[in-house]
A and B are shown apart, each in its own frame.
Chain A
Amino acid sequence: MDNVIEVQHLSKSFGNHEVLRDIDFSVNKGEVVCIIGSSGSGKSTLLRCINLLEKPSGGQIIYHGENILDEKHDIHAYRTKLGMVFQQFNLFNNHNVLNNCIVGQVKVLKRSKEDAEKIALKYLKVVGMDHYVNAQPKQLSGGQKQRVAIARALSMEPDVMLFDEPTSALDPEMVGEVLKVMKELAGTGLTMLVVTHEMEFAKEVADRVVFMDKGVIAEEGTPEQIFNNPREERTKTFLKRTLS
């Protein structure tokens, strides 16, 4: 199978605090991988290392056969291939909904404004926010903001989408609308790497589940295997705690 991203022996320390240790894993084309694990286990840090918002302390990140941690690698071009969705939405506060989805396309991908507008509208429609093109971020609800953030990332037409707990900052009644969009996206064959606390979502949508504990990948497998027959003791403990 084609893998989009392969992480080898990745490690990350903040000062002398080792947060990630010898992480090996890959995301294959068209696959939905969910990362679960308790708070502080390093899930966000892993995602942020993958798109280089954090500089890994060691190891390799292989993208299309090249180690993107090489000095000479163009990290800006690489980042356009990864769509990132943050827990806190992080919409550009100085742009309206449409321009949030256009500015990266025009300024970074150098698409024409007309093309960018068409593409932005296409993805705003996918997330059900095409009626709000004129709205400013501060005028939207959390769920709406997150859906625009997803459309913004999709508008760059990335190879893989990274989600870092996209529903954790939302009021409960808005979680559903965002998960629904993500399920639809998963159904279209989009490659997705999702850090989540939504176990139902992982069970239903993931092709593969990765369980992280204290900076290492403790166990990975299909959702059935992880949720129904976990091999590791710490996976069992974690699941017992979160599912009860």
Chain B
Amino acid sequence: MSLEYIISMITNNWPMFLRGAGMTLLISIIGTIFGAVIGLLAGVIRTIPTPERKLKRALLKIVNLILSVYIEFFRGTPMIVQAMVIFYGSALAFGVDMDRTLAAIFIVSINTGAYMAEIVRGGVISIDKGQFESAQAIGMNHVQTMWNVVLPQVIRNILPATGNQFIINIKDTSVLNVIGVTELYFQTKTVAGISFKYFEPFFIACILYFVMTFTVTLILRYIERKLDGPENYSMIGQPPPQLMLPKNAKID
């Protein structure tokens, strides 16, 4: 009975579920990417060594203070409350409703950014001091050191944490139904409202959420393996010089 009902519910309502799942994915993908970029920037700024010059030092201190407030505030308040404050607050301040999808992406991005900033900071701190020193000894400035030596290693190291954040985002976008974003939870609620059934639509949503998060897990594992490169390297024998250059000799 119930299984049949679930199947008929899917066949009757699949566009609703699909659109909801699509919206959930859209918000969480863009939110995670933006959040990771925000986190990288914030994390890198927060690990700049204290400059010699007084003016620069004061400036950095102010920027760091602002970043700390941002990070602590968004980590310390629930996203569901932030969504209400930002969405209705902006309506109050500017007299117009924000686009709900944009508001959703904005909220997820800054939330992810706050968490990622700490993850990145931890990632930078965990890189061996010798990596910084050898880069500096070769004449690299701070930006070159970060870009060419430290961040590639940090990104590899924080990939699991970023994946984790992505999965959290897929699940937590559900709270954005409070500002009427048509993500999966909102759509499921709508289906339930029309059909007066609760178990079946939410069971379907449950499966859909799991399929999304598990797919992300698998993709990230694959990327991690790719980034780690081959287990073995090929010895270069005595071929002519141009053959000695490895195919993957890109450094940009």
CB within 8 Å of B: which residues of A?
Answer: 51, 53, 76-77, 79-80, 82, 84, 86, 88-96, 98-99, 102-104, 106-109, 113, 117, 121, 130-136, 139, 149, 152-153, 156
For B242, give the chain A residue with the smallest CB separation. Answer: A117
For B138, give the chain A residue with the smallest CB separation. Answer: A104
User: Does A117 contact B138, Cβ atoms closer than 8 Å?
Assistant: no
User: Does B140 contact A134, Cβ atoms closer than 8 Å?
Assistant: no
B225 to chain A, nearest CB (A): 15
| Chain A residues positioned under 8 Å from B144 (CB to CB) | 107-108
Distance of A108 Cα from B134 Cα, bound (Å) = 13
| Chain B residues positioned under 8 Å from A131 (CB to CB) | 235-237
B236 to chain A, nearest CB (A): 5
CB within 8 Å of A: which residues of B?
Answer: 128, 130-131, 133-141, 144, 148-149, 152-153, 156, 229, 232-237, 241, 244-246, 248-249, 251
Distance of A109 Cα from B140 Cα, bound (Å) = 10
For B134, give the chain A residue with the smallest CB separation. Answer: A90
User: Does B244 contact A130, Cβ atoms closer than 8 Å?
Assistant: yes
| Chain A residues positioned under 8 Å from B229 (CB to CB) | 136
Distance of A95 Cα from B152 Cα, bound (Å) = 10
B50 to chain A, nearest CB (A): 12
Task: From known contacts A79-B139, A131-B235, infer whether A117 and B249 are also in contact, taking CB-CB under 8 Å.
Answer: yes
Distance of A98 Cα from B251 Cα, bound (Å) = 10
User: Does A139 contact B233, Cβ atoms closer than 8 Å?
Assistant: yes
User: Does B131 contact A76, Cβ atoms closer than 8 Å?
Assistant: no
Q: A93-B153, A153-B138 are in contact. List 10 more A-B contacts (CB 8 A).
A: A79-B136, A79-B139, A89-B130, A94-B153, A99-B249, A107-B144, A107-B148, A121-B244, A131-B237, A134-B234
B149 to chain A, nearest CB (A): 5
A92 to chain B, nearest CB (A): 5
User: Does B246 contact A79, Cβ atoms closer than 8 Å?
Assistant: no
* Most B CB within 10 A of own CB, among A92, A113, A156: A92
* Most A CB within 10 A of own CB, among B144, B237, B241, B244: B244
User: Does A102 contact B156, Cβ atoms closer than 8 Å?
Assistant: no
Q: List 28 A-B contacts (CB under 8 A).
A: A51-B137, A53-B133, A76-B140, A77-B139, A80-B139, A82-B137, A84-B134, A84-B137, A86-B133, A86-B134, A86-B137, A90-B130, A92-B148, A92-B149, A94-B149, A94-B153, A95-B149, A95-B251, A96-B233, A98-B245, A99-B249, A102-B251, A107-B140, A117-B245, A134-B236, A134-B246, A152-B138, A156-B139
| Chain B residues positioned under 8 Å from A93 (CB to CB) | 131, 153
Task: From known contacts A51-B137, A156-B138, infer whether A130 and B251 are also in contact, taking CB-CB under 8 Å.
Answer: no
User: Does A103 contact B133, Cβ atoms closer than 8 Å?
Assistant: no
Task: From known contacts A96-B246, A135-B233, infer whether A108 and B140 are also in contact, taking CB-CB under 8 Å.
Answer: yes
